[in-house]
Structure 1
Amino acid sequence: MQPTSLLSTIDALLSNGYVYIFLYIWVLCGVWVDLSNVSSRSKKSVFILSIIFLFTFIGIRWQTGTDWDSYKKLFDTLDLNWDSVVTTRHFDSGYVVLNLIVKSITDSYTVFLLVDSAVTGIILYYIIKRSSFYPSISVFLFYSNFMIAQFMGSNRRMIAMVLILWFFYFILNQAKIKSVVTLAISFLFHRSSIACVISFLIPKKIFNIKQTVLIISIGAMIGILGVRSSFFEMLNIFMQANYSDSSMAGSISAYTLHSEDHLVLYTSNPIVTTVLALGKRCVFLFFYIWIIVNSKKVIDKVTCFFYNINVVAISMYIAFIGSFFQMLSAYWAFAEIILIGRIFYYAPIRIKILFAVFMSFFGFFQLANALSVYLDLYIPYLPFWTTIHRL
């Protein structure tokens, strides 16, 4: 199955992807509701409905999204005993436990998906509610930039990603025990999240422009000089020498030796994807810097820290371009849904409207690009009650 061009994906969206367009229009309306003068109660209602719509959409899908067969096979074949937590390979223990709990109650994979998405949605709802001044704007960025690529198929990783947002929040508030526990739980659902441990080193004081440029430049130099390849080769040698029997060692070996092939396989046109991703990051970063520099209000500590996380995410993305490990930057990049919902607070109304218009158009292309990875697995969207089956 080959990736589809962006123009072909847009054509498919307009002809047979109505449900994705409906959701896009809904979350886009939420942006304008957040920016309007309607009551806070109305804004909260739109936010809650958006979360319900999106995670129900994830939960009731059937044969839609990536990795469908492997996750369903795990649920269908999993033995109902706690030894499965240890003996099941290629799936993280926390995710296996969640499968065991649901399967002990019902054999319905749809019920499992609904539970999996509900857990994720609830965790995400509360971190956005607590941290974002404009929650529906946060939801819009979530849908257009992250949901399709990160949540429509990766049943394990989506729980890990929303937990990492809480991990960042606890680091900021110096809740060391809570941050460590949250990271540990995230690790149980997707081991790659352990990379976020380096977030303890991210300073709380906001990066100035020179520091921002320096950090991003370091990422560019790492990518250009190929330092990352040497690092992962050494990591692969270490893991094979000391933990050769572990599935993590196997994964690191596979991704290190065949990272470029894996990247091409799991993206659409790599050039289009990279241009869109870097273009979006640069425009958004310019917007953040402009707001921070020109704000007449003191930027609060949460916004400062999440801005720093975003700068680190951009640097990591650039450093790992062309490598499978580029996907690791998604944990830090995901924090942008909180940052965007806070930074808008400091912008003049005219700038808010102009940037919201930009987001309206650019977000659609981001959504289309995410769908183009495996268009046939997303369009048409199939709910669990469908009589249609994908070939």
Structure 2
Amino acid sequence: MALYFLIFAALALFSTFEIYGLKQAESKNIFILFCLVLFIMSFIRWESGTDWETYYAAFNQSIEWGTENEFEWGFARINEFVKIFFDNYTILLFVLGAILFFFQSKAILKLSPYPVTSLLLLWCTTFGNIFFVRQSIATAILFYAVRYIEEKKLVKFLTMIAIATLFHRTSILFVLAWWIYSLKIRPTLMMIFIFISLLLSAIISKLMGNLGAIAGGVIQQKMEAYLDSSNDTFGTEASLVQIIIKGFANKIFIFGISLFFMLRLEKKGIIFREYLNLYLVGIVIYFSTISISIAFVRLSYVYDMMLILLVPIILKNIDQRYVRFTLFFVFLCYAGLRLYISLVGGYYDLYVPFKTIFNT
């Protein structure tokens, strides 16, 4: 666990320098250095991270071109290419990691005023995506596509979505971001959307249980089985209620602070509401689906990444130094807590110790 918090401490230190006057060029160089370290970690890992066995087994089965499997076309073809020509899983991780970190790093440099701070938040929420899966790669590509919404380049935006679907088919749903991005949603209406999503999730879950009881017999058994499977917590020890409570605390904390600053930042002509719109969609998706199936929650991942833009923009535009320091300290505590929960929340053995190709 020490390794994870060592990286956290280093990122936190340079993030502090960044917020308190580090030159843009220096900040960029430090960011690139950290990205390089995380990229290396992403392909030298071994038997670390979730879904390792599934992906490793799929790679070993990719013995010929066009092998039939459950994965999307692009991901499957890359697997087959590396298996046929190199037969080395580390090389596959290198290729896939290069794709992910290229788009992820370029997007952060383009969109965030404090790239090191964004990387700090990304590390604490998703380990910087070093334990990537298919959706991680697709999410990085979609995150990069946000720049084309800002630049109003529809063809390039759709091209990025098309590329992302080669890694995860649900990426097509991000096309909605083109219209959601520029909406002028009132703060009150935003809160109503969140409340409705919470209510909707509870109603759907209750309705499915009642329908099963009314129908009885085989239908009731299938409904109960579905609800049991949908409440699967993906191997974590936390109950579904605990997951909902933690999700609510995580998301509403950032949303509440962002909502407080939204109007004053908008008056300055700063792009902020647009990112908050997308973050709001992630919250709505999360609460609308979590009691139905945790698998559906993954649809919110790319929208959740707006978090790493919202926080730096807020910090960048606070004039009072003591207020900026106080809020930065609050965000730092929040990020550290998120990192700790991610480590001990149920997948501890998959992260600690961090295994590599050098100690297998």
Q: TM-score, normalised by structure 1?
A: 0.80
Instruction: Determine the structure 1 residue equivalent to 2:249.
Output: 279
Q: Which residue is 2:53 aligned to?
A: 69
Deviation, structure 1 residue 118:
1.8
Q: CA deviation at 1:356?
A: 1.5
Change in Cα spacing, 1:199 to 1:214, as seen in structure 2 (3 Å) is: same
The range that moved more, 174-183 or 163-172, is 163-172
- SS of alignment partner, residue 167 of structure 1: helix
Superposition pairs of residues 50-69 of structure 1, within 5 angstroms:
50-69=34-53
Moved more, 367-376 or 151-160: 151-160
Shift of the alpha carbon at 1:272? 4.2
2:329 corresponds to 1:351: no
Question: Alignment partner for residue 144 of structure 1, among 99, 124, 141?
Answer: 124
Give the letter aligned to residue 236 of structure 2. T
- Residue number among 17, 25, 40 corresponding to 1:33 in the alignment: 17
Are 2:311 and 1:337 equivalent residues in the alignment? no
Question: Paired residue for 1:249?
Answer: none
Aligned to 1:384, which of 346, 357, 360? 357
CA distance in 2, matches of 1:133, 1:364: 21
| 1:64 partner SS | coil
User: Which of 138, 149, 163 lines up with 2:141 in the alignment?
Assistant: 163
Q: What is the distance in 2 between the residues matched to 1:229 and 1:116?
A: 42
User: Identity of aligned pairs, percent?
Assistant: 22
In 2, Cα distance between equivalents of 1:101 and 1:41: 38
Q: Report the Cα distance in structure 1 between the residues aligned to 2:266 and 2:131, rounded to whole angstroms.
A: 43
| 3-state SS of 1:226 partner | helix
Work out whether residues 116 and 155 of structure 1, in 8 Å CA contact, stay in contact via their aligned partners in 2.
no
Contact 2:15 2:120 in 1 (8 A): yes
Q: Which amino acid is the alignment partner of residue 144 of structure 1? A: C
After TM superposition, the structure 1 = structure 2 runs for residues 223-262 of structure 1, keeping only pairs within 5 Å, are 223-226=201-204, 259-262=229-232
Contact persistence 1:59–1:114 (CA under 8 A): yes
Query: Does the 8 Å contact 1:156/1:189 carry over to 2?
Result: yes
Equivalent of 1:317 in 266, 273, 286: 286
Query: 1:326 corresponds to which residue?
Result: 297
8 Å contact from structure 2 (residues 142, 302) kept in 1: yes
Q: What is the DSSP-based 3-state SS (H/G/I as helix, E as strand, rest coil) of the residue aligned with 2:166?
A: helix
One-letter code aligned to 1:373: G
Q: What's the CA shift for 1:60?
A: 1.0
Which residue does the alignment assign to 2:3?
19
Aligned AA (1:274): I
Displacement after TM superposition at 1:145 (Å): 1.0
Larger deviation: 178-187 or 275-284?
Answer: 275-284
Letter in structure 1 aligned against 2:165: F
Q: CA deviation at 1:373?
A: 2.2
Q: Decide whether the 8 Å contact of 1:60 with 1:383 is kept in 2.
A: yes
**Structure 1 residues not aligned, in runs of 5+:** 1-16, 234-252
* 1:128 counterpart (101, 108, 123): 108
Aligned: 1:106 with 2:86: yes
* Amino acid of the structure 1 residue aligned with 2:2: Y
Q: Return the TM-score normalized by structure 2.
A: 0.86
Instruction: Look up the equivalent residue of 2:34 and give its one-letter code.
Output: S
Does 1:187 pair with 2:160?
no
Q: Choose the corresponding residue for 1:97, options 60, 69, 77.
A: 77
Q: 1:209 to 1:21 in 2, by over 3 A?
A: same
In 1, the alpha carbon distance for the partners of 2:184 and 2:276 equals: 7
1:119 is aligned to 2:89: no
Asked if structure 2 preserves the Cα contact closer than 8 Å seen for 1:317 and 1:329, the reply is: yes
Cα deviation for residue 215 of structure 1 reads 2.0
| Count of residue pairs the alignment pairs up | 341
CA contact (8 A) 2:59 2:83 kept: yes
Which residue of 1 is the match for residue 272 of structure 2? 303
Alignment correspondent of 1:267: 236
- Say whether the 8 Å CA contact 1:215–1:312 is kept in structure 2: no
Q: Contact 2:278–2:303 (CA<8 Å) still a contact in 1?
A: yes
Q: Distance in 2 between matches of 1:98 and 1:113?
A: 10
Distance 1:228 1:147, change over 3 A: farther
Q: Distance in 2 between matches of 1:278 and 1:28?
A: 25
Q: CA deviation at 1:214?
A: 2.3
Aligned partners of 2:206 and 2:143: how far apart in 1?
Answer: 26
Displacement of 1:341 = 2.8
Structure-1 separation of matches of 2:130 and 2:30? 22
Question: Is residue 265–residue 272 contact of structure 2 (8 Å, CA) maintained in 1?
Answer: no
Distance 1:229 1:194, change over 3 A: farther
RMSD: 2.5
